[in-house]
Amino acid sequence: MKKTPLALLLTLGLLQTPLAAFAATAPLDLVGPVSDYKIYVTENIDELVSHTRQFTDAVKKGDIATAKKLYAPTRVFYESVEPIAELFSD
């Protein structure tokens, strides 16, 4: 059975939340957090590029054992920026 959007909101209890919880944030209040996030993303992309280069070098050399060790640490940096990855062009 398909639920309507209103039924979903009721189920999640979102209609019981005070409207003040959804109040808009002043744009200037977002400058700091947006700036901090930009720094976070930039640092993680730099690390992703560096770690990916090491990983791909190991794969190209046929050093599969090293590549396996590097995969998980490299993946962490991808996952940290994955929520906004689609915003970047190819």
Q: What is the pLDDT along the chain (90 residues), one digit of tens a residue?
A: 566 666 666 566 655 666 566 667 788 888 999 999 999 999 999 999 999 999 999 999 999 999 999 999 999 999 999 888 888 776
Q: Which of 55, 74, 75 is nearest to 66 (CA)?
A: 55
Are 74 and 52 in contact by the 8 Å Cβ rule? The answer is yes
Determine the Cα–Cα distance for residues 18 and 31; give it in Å rounded to an integer: 26
Which two structure tokens, joined as six digits, stand for 74? 């490299």
Are 74 and 55 in contact by the 8 Å Cβ rule? The answer is yes
* Exposed/middle/buried for residue 86 (C-beta within 10 Å: 0-12, 13-18, 19+): exposed
Determine the Cα–Cα distance for residues 73 and 50; give it in Å rounded to an integer: 11
pLDDT of residue 42: 92
